[in-house]
Structure 1
């Protein structure tokens, strides 16, 4: 596990040690996308595989169609989501992530730079090399920030796991796969037919 985490840490000398804030993040000009999780810099995995992108398109198409005409908005990476703990001051925010998909229903959380505060729904599609980042690091910050629903999609296994926030902690669903229709508590009325989604891959 430690080796996988080490591969995700940006290895440039100025990122190898120390902690950083969103104010630092805004000054960087990098050739690769990075995320800031509790002050530590994580590189994005290599360009997503085709199956990852097909899943992303399938999901965003269905969610966007459902949300059309309402106040909620769906966004895809790269889209900065800042998760402040106590202050929106850029020098005090130490977590900036780029979910594969996120839905934001409170327009007050949106600005020209992205989202500041917890989205209502976050979807992460696993890729080789990023499982620990998604399943541990992001799980923890999404839970602490108050993301109402966190979906983890495993493209190779054709599965979906949903974490729903209850009294400040995530409750896990069973593992969904072919034959399942899943509903979202964060988006009442939205249902996803996994036969359709996974059947397109």
Structure 2
């Protein structure tokens, strides 16, 4: 297929596939959710970057000698119905802020093909609705075992764990009234410091 170098030449009322996505060479960052293009926000605010950096480094240190691998955006995650799906059959490509992949067979040079075990999205004013609705449902449908939503402006971490294919809220941790060290259900030994994540 011919490369697409201008975002404005795309038809936003049309559904696309990962095969199309691979031809896009414009500077704008986008995600593909069930075939529909979602333009990503410009560079996030400093507190978003700070939280992402702290969490990425904490996860990386914890899993350094482990089979699980940590990646942060931009990193393509193709959510597929089965591993045999071809590029032209895949209609969802997302770039989570942070993801943890424990099955090495899901990793290739293009990123991750299949659901990561854990995903973290750092919320901002422009993305919180999508992260709480579309992505919440998307990650639940595709079997992401744990989903963290981190709100650096309001100082909280909300964690959902997959139970019988449905997300149940494991905890809402607020800096002002929670223990400093918090952890999720999937990896209880991984402790995250609220003071570090939300340092000002």
Matches for 1:51-200 after TM superposition, within 5 Å? 51-86=47-82, 87-178=84-175, 179-180=178-179, 181-198=181-198, 200=199
Q: Structure 1 regions of 5+ residues with no counterpart?
A: 1-10
Structure 1: distance between partners of 2:56 and 2:104: 19
Offset, 1:13: 4.8
Offset, 1:132: 1.7
Structure 1: distance between partners of 2:191 and 2:81: 32
How many residues of Structure 1 are paired with residues of Structure 2 in the alignment? 190
Offset, 1:91: 1.1
Q: TM-score, normalised by structure 2?
A: 0.90
Q: CA 1:173/1:186 → structure 2, altered by over 3 Å: closer, same or farther? A: closer
**Of 17, 21, 38, the match for 2:17:** 21
Backbone CA RMSD of aligned residues? 1.4
Offset, 1:12: 2.7
Structure 1: distance between partners of 2:32 and 2:129: 15
Structure 2: distance between partners of 1:110 and 1:174: 30
Further displaced range: 120-129 or 171-180: 171-180
Q: Structure 1 runs of 4+ off > 4 angstroms? A: none
By percentage of residues, which structure has more helix? 1
Offset, 1:14: 2.0
Further displaced range: 147-156 or 129-138: 129-138
